[in-house]
């Protein structure tokens, strides 16, 4: 399967713990996006990368959140000192600037903070 993959699919953690999610984009895609979606709401943009450069971060991305894409391929999103309000679905998408703007989404990582 050459689609966008995310790992893990589900994560339950206790408040105060750190969590890290991984996203593997479609291999030829140079852009990678992270979104957060809470129940009944649309996706909220968090950040995006073009190759290894992080070009924009939303104000939603507090200093407890950090994202990396060290080699311009997979990306990680880390949340430190998790809070119950961090419980959400974290979505990753990728696109290619040479093939138009269409974003392809991964299945998401559902985080539950207890």
Partner 1 sequence: KNEVEQSPQNLTAQEGEFITINCSYSVGISALHWLQQHPGGGIVSLFMLSSGKKKHGRLIATINIQEKHSSLHITASHPRDSAVYICAAPDSNYQLIWGAGTKLIIKP
Positions that interact with partner 1 (CB under 8 A): 31, 33, 42-43, 45, 48, 55-56, 91, 93, 95, 97, 100-108
CB 16 within 8 A of CB 113: no
CB of 20 to partner 1, least distance (A): 20
CA dihedral 42, 101, 45, 51 (to 10 degrees): 150
* Size of the chain, expressed as the number of residues it contains: 114
With respect to partner 1, which residue has the nearer C-beta, 14 or 102?
102
CB of 82 to partner 1, least distance (A): 22
With respect to partner 1, which residue has the nearer C-beta, 19 or 92?
92
With respect to partner 1, which residue has the nearer C-beta, 70 or 100?
100
From residue 93, alpha-carbon distances to 32, 66, 83, 111 in Å are 6, 17, 24, 17
């Amino acid at each position: 399967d050459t689609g966008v993959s995310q790992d893990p699919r589900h994560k339950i953690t206790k408040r105060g713990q750190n969590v890290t999610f991984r996203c593997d984009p479609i291999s030829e895609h140079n852009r990678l996006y992270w979104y957060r979606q809470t129940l009944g709401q649309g996706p909220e943009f968090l950040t995006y990368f073009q190759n290894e450069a992080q070009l924009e971060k939303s104000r939603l991305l507090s200093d407890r959140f950090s994202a990396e894409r060290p080699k311009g391929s997979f990306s990680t999103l880390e949340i430190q000192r998790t809070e119950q309000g961090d419980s959400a679905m974290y979505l990753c998408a990728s696109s290619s600037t040479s093939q138009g703007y269409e974003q392809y989404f991964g299945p998401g990582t559902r985080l539950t903070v207890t």
